[in-house]
Structure 1
Amino acid sequence: MNLGFDVVELGPADAPEVGETAPDFTRPLVDDEYWEDVALSDLTDDGPVVLVFHTMDGDFPATYIWQEIRDRGWDAYDAEIVGCSISTPYEHSRFLEEWDLEAFRLFSDPANGVAEAYGIAHDLDGMTGIAEPRPAVFVLDGDRTIRASWVATEWPEFPPYGDLEDAIESL
């Protein structure tokens, strides 16, 4: 079958594991209207958080992942669903509005430091010095303890939504 693109093995990641504490960070958290610097720990202080790492806005895996999350109704869970990518706050704001994702917020991390802290940074082929997070999802409780996780091992690869939904429901 000709997919029209190559499937790429991403190699090993060094992501935090279930039971470990997720690294804290502070970055601009963007909605469709504005942004402000927010720490992940500020979000988890209010309850569970699902942290979704994705490719840059406009890339088809990011669009597909967020449309699937929206269509599956993840905004109805008793957890805040937030994303993180290298896209700027302006790009995030447009992305949220364009795809009707106003129920969600996205961390802007243009230098990819958060993905590096999570051990999921991926150098883009043919783009020297440019890296982005590989797709990954971390389900966190109010103490930032990782209760479930998934990290892509190839590109493109998409999360096991049903398994993650079970983990979110069990929080």
Structure 2
Amino acid sequence: MVDFDVVQLPETDHVDVGDTAPDFTRPLVNDEYWQDASLSDLAEDDPVLLVFHPMDGDFPATYIWNEIRDRGWTDSLTVVGVSISTPYEHKAFVNERGIDARLFSDPANGVAREYGVAHALDGMAGVEEPRPAVFLLDADRTVEYAWVASEWPDFPDYDAVEAEIDALV
């Protein structure tokens, strides 16, 4: 039995297949340190899987990153996350979950807004985070695959994402 309510999220005008993914620069965190990095630099030579997720430690973020880790997607392309969590929280989350990917820190949620995946949290005036979303980008930052949550909680069809990754790399 589910012990939480499934909530329908409002429609959103998000970045979609064929669009050029907006570029941004934010702190990019691994298990040891962080530094400012841009999406365009990461995508310059290889495809990128851009994964928006709720704050670190939230169960959807944990499930999403466990699945990505277990499927070994970081072995075939650059996988990066984006959430409102701070670099300190990201560093702990990466270490705790054994994530072999880097995470962009976007505490003001501006990147999620630019991508059309910002979600205002119920009962928390002025607080928002990204809804779960996955964008597969080619080296020109063209969106080859897009999935955005339509309810909370919601998770991507990991087999469909993997098929798109295999077709691109």
Structure 2 length normalisation: TM-score?
0.98
- The corresponding residue for 2:140 is 143
> Offset at 1:16?
1.1
**Unaligned stretches of 5+ residues in structure 1:** none
Name the CA distance, whole Å, in 1 between partners of 2:147 and 2:23.
18
Name the CA distance, whole Å, in 2 between partners of 1:167 and 1:74.
11
Name the CA distance, whole Å, in 2 between partners of 1:151 and 1:26.
22
- The corresponding residue for 1:164 is 161
Structure 1 length normalisation: TM-score?
0.97
**Unaligned stretches of 5+ residues in structure 2:** none
Matches within 5 A, 1:32-47: 32-47=31-46
1:41-89 deviation digits (Å, cap 9, x = unpaired): 0000021000000000000000000001101111221x10000000000
Q: Does 1:123 align with 2:136?
A: no
- The corresponding residue for 1:82 is 80
Tell me the secondary structure at the aligned position of residue 75 of structure 1: helix
- The corresponding residue for 1:50 is 49
- The corresponding residue for 2:109 is 112
- The corresponding residue for 1:26 is 25
1:102-152 deviation digits (Å, cap 9, x = unpaired): x10000000000000001100000110000000000000000000001000
- The corresponding residue for 1:95 is 93
Q: Does 1:65 align with 2:64?
A: yes
1:9-54 deviation digits (Å, cap 9, x = unpaired): 1110111110110010000000010000100000000210000000
Q: CA RMSD in A?
A: 0.6
Tell me the secondary structure at the aligned position of residue 90 of structure 2: helix
Once the two structures are aligned, what percentage of the paired residues are identical?
Answer: 64
Tell me the secondary structure at the aligned position of residue 6 of structure 1: coil
